Copies of this chain bind each other. A is one copy, B any other.
Amino acid sequence: MRIGFIPAAEPVTRLIEELGKLPGIGPKSAARLAYYLLRVPEAEARALAEAITAVKDETVLCSHCQNITDSDPCAVCTSEERHHNIICVVKEPLDILALERTGRYNGLYHVLHGVLSPMDGIGPEDLKIRELMKRLETGLVEEVILATNPNLEGEATSMYIQRLISPLDIRVTRLARGLPVGGDLEYADEVTLTHALESRQAM
């Protein structure tokens, strides 16, 4: 006999549902997170709820680089210690965090907020490409690094932008392809290995 299933309390069910909408959080993880939040001190749960609200209320896109910022223009675009003649173009704000972590890039950024993807109906007008071209009009920029992801859509987006920039007197570069440090030659795919071979360097 299959008997009536009694679900969790409504607020718990609702929280599980909302958490389950997050990327990479399945129904089981959502339930585990919900019950974790039920257990933690009220202040901690409230801090999370407030951080979520604040991130919406207190941030805007930087009118220069389109990165997420709490002051427009953002800290990078207004920094006098950074080179304003070089712009690194990335897909999303997360990529900026990754590049900043290297501590080796000292120029500006431009966030596209996506890549070209005809399958998903995402064309050039859906990305911040017009805003990029406008920044280049000033004539102050000497190099644009196209740092989209090394996959089909990333490459297509870079190619598209490269063609737009080519009439201008601006150097266009892209990040090097090759073996990831700590990686294993045996597990490298053919395309990466081909890139690594072709761009081999003198020791």
Contacts and interface: CB of A to CB of B under 8 A. Distances in A.
A142 interface: no
B35 A93 contact: yes
A186 interface: no
Contacts of A51: 11, 14-15, 17-19
30 contacts: A2-B103, A2-B104, A3-B81, A3-B104, A7-B97, A7-B100, A9-B68, A9-B69, A9-B70, A10-B70, A11-B57, A11-B59, A11-B70, A12-B55, A15-B52, A15-B55, A18-B48, A18-B51, A19-B51, A21-B48, A22-B33, A22-B48, A23-B33, A32-B94, A35-B94, A45-B52, A46-B56, A48-B49, A49-B50, A49-B52
Interface of A: 2-12, 14-15, 17-19, 21-24, 29, 31-38, 42, 44-59, 68-71, 74-76, 79, 81, 92-94, 96-97, 100-101, 103-106
